[in-house]
Structures are given as C-alpha cells and as structure tokens.
Structure 1
Amino acid sequence: MGVLSIILQVLLGLGFLMFGFMKFGSKQMVDEFGRYGYPGGFRIFTGLVEVIAAVLVISGIWNDKLAAWGGLFIVGTMIGAIFTHIKVKDPVNKMMMPIVLLILGLIVLFINFGSLL
C-alpha cells in the first residue's frame, strides 16, 4: 500500500469519525435531519454507519479487505447523502462535500477492491 493511500485512509477515517459522532447529538445535525424529513433514529443509524466506516478505513491500513469494506460503506452513505440533498432541492454547493467524499471513498474502494474477490 502506498503512502498516498495511507494518508487518504487516515484523513477519511478521521473525517468520518467526526461526522459520525456529530450525528449523535449535534443540534445542527438534529435540525438538518428534521429538515430532510428523517426520524431521529435514522440520524443515529447514519452516525453509526459513518463511525463503522471510519474504523474500517483506518484499520484498512493493515488489512486491505477492511479498507475495501470501509470504502464501500462510505460510497453507499455518500450516495444516500447526495440523493437526500437532491430530494430537498438543496443547491449544488451543499452537495460538494458528499461528492468529494464519494470520490475519495471510491478511490479507497478501487485501490483495495482486489481483496474482496
């Protein structure tokens, strides 16, 4: 595994830990999920998925299969985030972070995809 891949996985992992934990109690996240029309339980579920993805991606530094699964979780979560922003008719600038994270998740997934086969 290259240095660039390790840096990417650490940054993604730390970012998703932060985003995931924010979903558990941040007033901003409570308000946003309310605006999206999602129940509080879905906010908690999303936070758990993001924390799990973060742990998998960081653990993937030592185990390619875990990195691939973490990348897959990130890709799925970000596709859901993008569709949510489209659903509530948010402007494109609100979708930029999920789009960037989707691309980075895809990179991690593709780098480590062979370990899933």
Structure 2
Amino acid sequence: MDLENIDILQSILQIIVAITILNVWLLRFNKSTPWRGGNASSMKEEFKTYGLPENMMYVVGGLKVLFALGLIIGIAYPTFISISCIGIIVLMAGAIGMHIKVKDEAKKSLPAFIMLILSLAILVLQN
C-alpha cells in the first residue's frame, strides 16, 4: 500500500471514530441502546450503574467529544492525531473496565473495543 492510500485509510478511520463518538455523546446521549451498561436507558443512568458521579459523565463526555474533534481537525493538522488517539484509547479502556466491573455481557463492550482498536490502527498508520 503506497503512502497516499495509507493517508486516505487513516483519514477514513479518523472520521469513523470521530463520528461514532460524536453520535453517542451528542445524538444518543438520552437514548437507549443495546450497548449501555447494566439496564441503563440513558448516559446518566449508565454512569450511575457504574457507580460514577454525574460530574464524571460530563468530564468523560467532554474529553471524548474533544478527542473526536481532534481526530477531525487532525486530517488537516496532523499534530492533533496522536493525543486524540491516545485519549480515546485510555477512555475506551476505561469504558471496557466499567462494563467488566458491572459484569455486563462481553458484547456490550464491543463498541468501546472497536473504537480502541481503530484508534490504535490510526496511531500505527501515522507517518
């Protein structure tokens, strides 16, 4: 695969990760999904299920949105890519840990696991 195709693949992955995170935190925040921890039907209920305070939800959400925007901005300004990927990797590892903490079935961790793997791939593809 030549350098141009690698750059295109990296940009596509950045967009996929960014849109997925923005969708969860901006459009589906108060909606039920099959991926929410425990039996939660909203983000607020999910953080309560994990035993985390409400203000932590806003910190985590703010960071996820910030890092997602960093991936989009990173298409034009690559200096944003590494920190955004590392931030998403750490937060997704935390999300997986929370699912494990509340003994969720493994499939509920799948979106976080996919975002973690895609973020690792973006880091590897960086030239």
Shorter-normalised TM-score: what interval? 0.7 to 0.9
Letter matched to residue 42 of structure 1:
M
TM-score by length of 1: 0.86
| Root-mean-square deviation over aligned CA pairs | 1.7
Q: What is the correspondence of 1:32-111 to structure 2 with a 5 Å cutoff?
A: 32-111=46-125
Q: 2:21 aligns with which of 16, 20, 36?
A: 16
User: Taking structure 2 as the reference length, what is the TM-score of the superposition?
Assistant: 0.80
Range 12-21 or range 31-40, more displaced: 12-21
How big is the shift at 1:5? 1.1
Give 1 or 2: higher helix fraction.
1
**Number of corresponding residues:** 112
The runs of 5 or more residues in structure 2 that have no matched partner are: 1-5, 31-40
Distance 2:62 2:26 in 1: 8
Q: Secondary structure at the match of 1:2?
A: helix
The answer (yes or no) to whether the contact 1:30–1:40 under 8 Å persists in 2 is yes
Structure 1 unaligned residues grouped into runs of 5+: none
User: Is the 8 Å Cα contact of residues 75 and 105 (structure 1) preserved in structure 2?
Assistant: yes
Structure 2 CA distance for aligned equivalents of residues 67 and 20 of structure 1: 20
Whether 1:5 and 2:14 are equivalent positions in the alignment is: no
Identity %: 30
**1:14 partner letter:** I
